[in-house]
Amino acid sequence: MRRVEQVSRSGETASRWLVVALVAGLGVAAPLMAAASSVVPATLAELADEARVIVYGRVAAVSPRWTTGRERIESLVTVDASGYFKGDLGPSVRIRVPGGTMGAHRTVVLGAPVLTIGQEVVMFLGTRGPSIPIILGLSQGLFRIVVNRATNQRVVMPTFAPGPSVQPLVRGDIGRRLMPFREFGRRLRELIADLPGEAVRR
């Protein structure tokens, strides 16, 4: 039987990105243990402020691995960078995402995005020293770039990961609606320009 673990990942980003995940273990005779979960929603302005790096590009590789002590699985995701709105980590970026599958073992984290090779994304990243960057607020810091078939235009859409909590919609929050990529980039640069000490990337 495939064993599924749902675990909590907290304390890896600033306090505003508090995420309490549902913890559950499913095994041959393992009981189900669950706890309530909630996600603190973030605006695009908050994401732009907190992110050390904002990169857009295409997912090139996804490599699951065990964490130290083989307690859970996480995935190392490599993104070929097309450009940066903030910061610069070079032509490719490797990030760490909680969750993944290795053989008969799978770790699922509510609120964490599932990335696949070929997806085009915008990522708001947090870093601490030499550690591998992580996406701010799990799925909140990930926006997918897709093509509108009706207009053949690239648009940016936020990622809504399934979970027991509902993220409230904020009227006028551009981070929660579809937007042409160029308009998204323009608005994001305006937000970054308003931040103290930040240089805007063109």
Question: Is the residue at 74 inside a domain?
Answer: yes
The pLDDT value recorded for residue 202 is 54
Using the predicted structure, report yes or no on whether residue 49 has a pLDDT greater than 80. yes
Question: Is the residue at 202 inside a domain?
Answer: no
Lowest mean pLDDT among 35-39, 85-89, 129-133, 154-158: 35-39
The pairing of beta strand 120-126 with beta strand 19-20: unpaired
Question: Is the residue at 34 inside a domain?
Answer: no
The CATH number of the domain where 56 resides is what? 2.40.50.120
In contact, 42 and 19? CB cutoff 8 Å: no
Which residues have a Cβ under 8 Å from the Cβ of 158 and sit 6 or more positions away? 140, 142, 143, 175, 176, 177
Please give the Cα distance from 46 to 137 (Å, whole number). 11
Note down the domain range covering 117.
Answer: 42-161+173-193
Distances (CA, A) of 190 to 21, 51, 85, 183, 187: 33, 15, 11, 11, 5
In contact, 133 and 10? CB cutoff 8 Å: no
Question: Is the residue at 59 inside a domain?
Answer: yes
Q: How many domains does the chain have?
A: 1
Name the residue type at position 66. W
Question: Is the residue at 7 inside a domain?
Answer: no
Query: Considering the chain, what is the average pLDDT of its residues?
Result: 78
Question: Is the residue at 71 inside a domain?
Answer: yes
Task: Please tell me the pTM assigned to this model.
Answer: 0.75
Beta-bridge mates of residue 38: 20
The pLDDT value recorded for residue 17 is 44
The pLDDT value recorded for residue 26 is 32
What percent of the chain has pLDDT above 90? Answer: 55
Question: Is the residue at 107 inside a domain?
Answer: yes
Question: Is the residue at 23 inside a domain?
Answer: no
